[in-house]
Amino acid sequence: MSILINAQTRAIVQGITGGQGAFHTKLMQEYGTNIVAGVTPGKGGTTVEGVKVYDTVRETVVAEQPDWSVIFVPAPFVKDAALEALDNDLNIVVITEGVPVHDELTIVARAEEKGLVVIGPNCPGLLTVNEAKLGIIPGHIFTSKGNVGVVSRSGTLTYEIVALLADKGMGVTTAVGIGGDPIIGSTFLDILTLFQADPETEKIVMLGEIGGNMEEETAAFIKQNITKPIGCYIAGQTAPKGKTMGHAGAIISGKSGTAQSKMEALSAVGVKVGKIPSEVVNLIA
Active-site residue (options: 24, 102, 140, 247) = 247
Q: Is 102 marked active-site?
A: no
User: How distant is the alpha carbon of residue 136 from its chain centre?
Assistant: 10
Cα dihedral sign, 218-108-256-98: positive
Tally DSSP H helices, then E strands, for the chain: 9, 14
CA–CA separation, 246 and 223 (whole Å): 29
DSSP E strand boundaries for the chain: 10-14, 34-39, 47-48, 51-54, 68-71, 91-94, 118-119, 125-128, 132-135, 145-152, 172-177, 203-209, 230-235, 272-274
Residues identified as active-site: 247
